[in-house]
Amino acid sequence: MVLSGPSGAGKSTIIHHSSPYIGNYYFSISTTTREPRDGEEHGVDYYFVTHREFEEGIKAGDFLEYATVHGNYYGTSIKPVNMALEEGKLVIFDIDIQGHRLVRAKMGDYVTSAFITPPTLKELEKRLYARCTDNNSIIERRIENAKKEIEAVSEFDFVIINDSIEEASAQFITIANASRLKHSSDELEKMVENWKN
């Protein structure tokens, strides 16, 4: 399951609120070259690596998807994702629009996606300034990015308007649990073959 949306939309908060109600899942931890923010931990929030380490991973084919955002690399390592899928876990990605496109291209109709956003750009601005984790120039860049990201909303299976964390979490729980019932075209073809025999 892919979640995307502007920085400050509340994706992490929604996942945190919903986690007791969505069964066994693996939250895909992205690898990044950006500096950790206050309180962020390596291996919990992100895997923090150097530009050189990330580029070596690209050459080795270690990433399901990767992109450059605000001058830093962000990517999803493929090994833990495959392990979690083999264990029957729901894999949740919190990735940007580019990442969604790449994962969708590689995993096709097996992917369920949701775009999470505050109700308005003004509300997003308010949240970004209120959380006090970035300086003004970074916040302004995030706001400009959000204006582009909202244009891709129709590429997603679902849209969650995060006006109330309780309502947004309830919607996310429904989508996450339904996504476990989804089958890829390959799985359906095998099912049809087995059904006929």
Round to whole Å and give the CA distance between 58 and 51: 11
Task: State the pLDDT at residue 117.
Answer: 96
In the prediction, which pLDDT does 54 show?
95
Least confident range of 62-66, 72-76, 184-188:
184-188
* 81-134 confidence digits (pLDDT tens): 889 989 989 999 988 888 899 889 888 888 999 999 999 999 998 988 888 777
Is pLDDT of 136 > 90?
no
CA distance 59 to 37: 28
- The answer to whether residue 174 sits within a structural domain is yes
pLDDT of residue 116: 97
Q: Identify whether 197 is part of a domain.
A: no
- Does some domain include residue 192? no
User: Which pLDDT score is estimated for 108?
Assistant: 83
Q: Is residue 73 exposed (0-12), middle (13-18) or buried (19+ Cβ within 10 Å)? A: buried
> Number of folded domains in the chain?
1
Establish if 193 belongs to a structural domain: no
Report pLDDT for 152: 95
**Residue 196 domain-assigned?**
no
For residue 21, give the H/E element and its range.
Answer: none
Q: Which of 13, 18, 8, 16 is nearest to 170 (CA)?
A: 18
In this prediction the pTM is: 0.83
Q: Does 191 fall in a domain?
A: no
Residue 190 lies in a domain: no
pLDDT at 65: 87
CATH number (domain holding residue 181):
3.40.50.300
pLDDT digits (tens, 9 = 90+) for 20-60: 999 999 999 989 999 888 888 888 888 999 999 999 999 99
Per-residue pLDDT, 56: 95
For the chain, the residue count is: 197
In a domain, 195, yes or no: no
- Predicted pLDDT at 133: 72
pLDDT in tens, 145-195: 999 999 999 999 999 999 999 999 999 999 999 999 888 788 889 999 999
Structural domain range at position 32: 2-185
